[in-house]
Amino acid sequence: MSLVLPYTIAIGAIKQLTPVVLVALINSMTPQKAINNLKSLQTRSAMDHPQVKKLIDSKLEAASKSGRVSAFKAQIAADAGDFDVDTLAQLEKVTNEQVKRRGAIARPTALLVDKSGSMENAIATGLQLAPNVVIVRVGTHYNWVESQLKQQQAPVDTFTFAGDYYSLLNIVPLLTRPSRLDLLMEILDMPLPVRTDK
């Protein structure tokens, strides 16, 4: 049984931090842990050593391909540190790849955000652009927009979002699923069975 000491505990216990020790610590990290501790590694001059920086870059590259990495944690890491252009580009790549992994919005989509209470123009625009309307409720919400759309017989799906910044990515599959019209067209495109025993 092999036990791995968490980075935060190990870094507190080490008296002399050399590039060799940094390599050992980073090697034991998952790509997500490397992103989570990127600012700490930068503070401890890990980015100043070419071999250590190369190892960090490989962890970030692995993070862009991993299915177990939170997209927005990479963005938060980028915002938290004063990283070089290459590291920022890699963190942006991690975020983009993780968002793409959740799905691609293939149909006309309008994202309308309005807190002013005057949604008439937004509703009209949304009906022109999108065959299906998805309302994502955040915080205090009213059903006025939904009722206006239903009065106009527009297909409306509602979703109440009560999560945090990291779970925001879960909305992407909701936006990428086929509309009712797309499902109907797929059903109509299916060939009918033909009887051969006539």
39-52 pLDDT, tens digit each: 999 999 999 999 99
pLDDT at 179: 74
Model-level pTM?
0.66
Residue 196 has pLDDT above 80, yes or no: yes
Two tokens, residue 144 = 């006025």
The DSSP code sequence of 74-139 is: HHHHHHHS---HHHHHHHHHHHHHHHHHT----S--------SS--HHHHHHHHHH-SSEEEEEES
Mean pLDDT score, 63-82: 89
Contacts of 177 (CB under 8 A, 6+ apart): none
Residue 117 has pLDDT above 60, yes or no: no
**8 A C-beta contact, residue 67 and residue 160:** no
Please state, in angstroms and rounded to a whole number, the distance separating the CA atoms of residues 77 and 38.
7
Mean pLDDT score, 28-39: 95
